[in-house]
Amino acid sequence: MTREEELIKNVQFVESALCAACQKAGRNPQDVSLMAVTKYAQDKDVLTLLDSGLIRHIGESRVQQAEKRWTSSVFAKYKTVKHFIGHLQKNKAAKAARLFDFIDSLDSEETALALNRTAPEGKIIRALIQIKLTQKDTQSGLPLEEARKLVKKLAELEHIKVCGYMGIAPQGASEEELHQIFKQVKTAFDQDFPGGERYLSLGMSEDFRVAVEEGSTLPRIGSRLFATTLEGL
């Protein structure tokens, strides 16, 4: 099997798993979009999937690295929806505002104001508020109730449109625990974003099935897409 065939098979496997999770939950698979987390992937692998037309939403977590990749002539020709999914420092806000369509990890009013102030004229940046779902000190995000308050604070910004939540589940959580955690976020999401353009980004390579069953619309998949083998997927 060539590397191209392997990568395409990986995407097809993930898409099939997403559809199965939607079917189990009685959801329309068209309501779920796959985000390919490209931050650690080799350029040639990302290009292979871009050429295949199988990925459109991409996720990066380092502004400098993403800028180098996506402003290059090789990558700039592709029509992608670029998501920033790492912790955004205020001093990187201007670059992030120019490069990304979405900031999925917003967790402070100060950073939101910096993005709003430095955004290109006429650009609307979609933002998801990151909810902290673990007790780890190194984990970014806000407790759920604080996140919900921030949504209201940012409602009137000219260049920022808050349209959902993002969360990273605790490592090692049981399937039952994951269901409970994701369900709680989905309840808040439905209350705070009852209609219109909205995104719930829950689930990564290890827990995306449960996340989709509980309502995630934008799971973030990296290692499952760029693995060198499907063994254990």
Whole-prediction pTM value? Answer: 0.95
At residue 85, does pLDDT exceed 60? yes
**Domains of the chain with CATH codes:** 3-222 (3.20.20.10)
pLDDT of residue 139: 76
Q: Given pLDDT bands bounded at 50, 70 and 90, which one contains residue 232?
A: very low
The answer to whether residue 189 scores a pLDDT higher than 90 is: yes
- pLDDT on residue 229: 60
* pLDDT, average across residues 110-114: 97
Displacement of CA 91 from its chain's centroid (Å):
22
DSSP state of 142: B
pLDDT averaged over the chain? Answer: 95
Strand ranges (E), the chain = 35-37, 57-60, 81-84, 102-106, 125-131, 160-167, 199-202, 220-221
* Token representation of residue 17: 């798993």
d(CA 82, CA 35): 9
As a whole number, mean pLDDT of residues 208-216 equals 98
pLDDT band at 175 (very low <50, low <70, confident <90, very high): very high
